[in-house]
Chain A
Amino acid sequence: MQRIVQVSLNRNPWSIEVDAHARLEVYLSESAAALASDPDRDEILLDLEQAIAEQCKRRLPANATVISMAELAPALEEIGPVNPSSSASATPGSSTAASTPPLQQISQGAWLSGVCLGLARHLRLEVTLVRVIAVVLLFFTGGAALLLYGVLMMLMPFAPLDPQGPEPSSIPAKAREWTELLRAKLATLAR
């Protein structure tokens, strides 16, 4: 039997197994990131929580009250990833010449977590240059540059994945997953 935690979905308490809880937090933080520029982000997130609760409830066997992966995975599958609808949101990658690309971590094509790639896009520099600077900093400052990288990993939002782009390789994919989990944990603590 798995450990069970309490979670609030659209202000209603639910019991959920830990692995499903982790999956849920990842979905919600990805949705929040996708809606970062949407003025109604919080309201949409609550609506999504409500939809998740209803979908899971419908799938729960009679007498069961604890949500597990068996309910959550198909529920999230049906609800689908958040597709921002804000007229202002530009698609990543197809940055228009006029506006500065947002400062985001880019998992696709990253070495570690995509911080350098994101900085390079934001500052319109060659990524190789940014990486060389990062490595030089690492040598000269010892641990400090690593710490800086960690802080940026926590602070920079992740760019939405480009469906036409390559799959992120295993290190950036893991880095993204862990960072999002850690953020979700911190967010729960802060509540």
Chain B
Amino acid sequence: MITTSQQIAIRKGLLEFAVLKVVGVGSIYAADILRRMQETEFATQEGTLYPLLSKLRRDGLVVYQWQESELGPPRKYYQLTDLGREQLAALDQYWKTIDQTLQQLGRRSGLVTES
């Protein structure tokens, strides 16, 4: 993966958005969140994900429920709250706006000529 500092900054800024996306698909266990993200630009590690999930929970965007597991102790399954869903929808919208803005900025016709 090519990693210029700009790309790193973009990925870092979008990590929270990406985690909300993954949790938004349905109730999910932290290790599966990591697995989903592993093959993507947003590959991350427990050391980063756990504090982030904690923060999202404090912000009221996600909640977790304990679920029994045959493989060991009970696991935390995360899902979005109503507020989390709202936030995700708003982010989705914002992302589209930003994308359009960037396209526009790169177009010649958008140039405003000063007179």
Contacts and interface: CB of A to CB of B under 8 A. Distances in A.
The winner among B30, B31, B51 for most chain A CB atoms within 10 A is B51
Q: By DSSP majority rule, is chain B's interface helix, strand, loop, or mixed?
A: helix
Interface stretch (B52-60, B82-90, B92-100, B104-112): B52-60
B50 interface: yes
Interface string A34-48: 010011100110011
Contacts of A82: 47-48, 50-51
A54 B72 CA distance: 9
A10 interface: yes
A7 B50 CA distance: 22
A146 B4 CA distance: 46
Interface of A: 10, 12, 31, 35, 38-40, 43-44, 47-48, 50-51, 53-54, 57, 78-87
Interface of B: 30-31, 44-48, 50-52, 54-55, 57-58, 72-73, 76
12 contacts: A31-B47, A40-B57, A43-B54, A44-B54, A47-B76, A48-B47, A54-B31, A78-B45, A79-B45, A80-B46, A82-B50, A83-B51
